[in-house]
Structure 1
Amino acid sequence: MKDVTNSLPSVILDHIQAHNTPDPAAFAATFASNALVNDARREWVGVDAISKWAEKEIFGDNVRVELVSAYELEGMYIVRLKNDGDFDKAGLPDPIILTNYFTLINDKIAQLIVLLNMVSYPDKPEPGIR
């Protein structure tokens, strides 16, 4: 895996910025028209469905993210984001760091999978929730 924390593609940086601004239209614009989002094993397909999910679960809960680390592996971007907002944090680790798996096509997000993982990366060999 290649560390790309300081060299992410612009569409992923735009996605993070729209997440934090908050800017639902700019957020939606980062996705391909037929994109798929899987958030904690729940799926949404297409920009309209993704926008409805984001309106409730991102913008409705005032979720903000902070880049922790990012890796590129065979064209997939594995981006770890610290999450905070106005949502129920009971039973979640502190800090809440979610792993976002981005697949890009033509400078748009074609697929985004968001998971709370147990991880072990080369720079952090101890497995655990990060």
Structure 2
Amino acid sequence: MPSSPSSPDTPIPLPPLVAAFIEATNSVDLEQLMATFADDALVNDQLRDYWGKAAIRDWAERDIIGDRLTIAVTKIVSHYGNFILTANVDGNFDKRGLPDPLVLAFYFTPHHELIVQLIILRNRCDV
């Protein structure tokens, strides 16, 4: 049964699966990163869907590993078994028009210790 939510103002310890994703990203380790995903996982990044490990690998090689993305966690909360991570993100990508720091929200849906869905958004504070 999914756990109840924590308050958005009550951070939790970093779950091992999320920690593994961050470690792989920050270490520029594609194989370790891919090991965190289920075979039929879905990633939505920049409003684009990547279904399954082959598509996720292409996305990760280009946008995570290729851009040498780094994730500096600022907060994580649990919400009914899902994890919402807020982080400052940096890397070798085109930063024109982006705020500094670039703050992204990562919405992780785990299942059997693997990521089955990851949605990455730049949430707006001015709405």
TM above 0.5, yes or no, is yes
Distance in 1, matches of 2:120 and 2:20, equals: 17
Structure whose residues are more often strand by fraction: 1
The two structures have a TM-score, normalised by structure 2, of 0.89
Q: RCO higher in 1 or 2 (8 Å CA, sep ≥ 6)?
A: 2
Choose which of 72, 96, 108 in structure 2 pairs with 1:102.
Answer: 108
Aligned-pair CA distance for 1:22: 1.0
Counterpart of 2:94 in structure 1 is 88
Q: CA deviation at 1:28?
A: 0.3
Aligned partner of 2:19 among 13, 19, 23: 13
Runs of 4+ with >6 A deviation: none
Secondary structure of the corresponding residue to residue 28 of structure 2 = coil
Query: Which amino acid in structure 2 is aligned with residue 65 of structure 1?
Result: I
Identity of aligned residues (%): 39
Q: How does 1:1-130 map to 2 (within 5 A)?
A: 1-2=5-6, 3-5=10-12, 7-118=13-124, 127-128=125-126
Can you list the C-alpha shifts for 1:27-70, whole angstroms capped at 9, x where unaligned? Answer: 00000110000002100011111011010011111111111100
Q: Which runs of 5+ in 2 are unaligned?
A: none
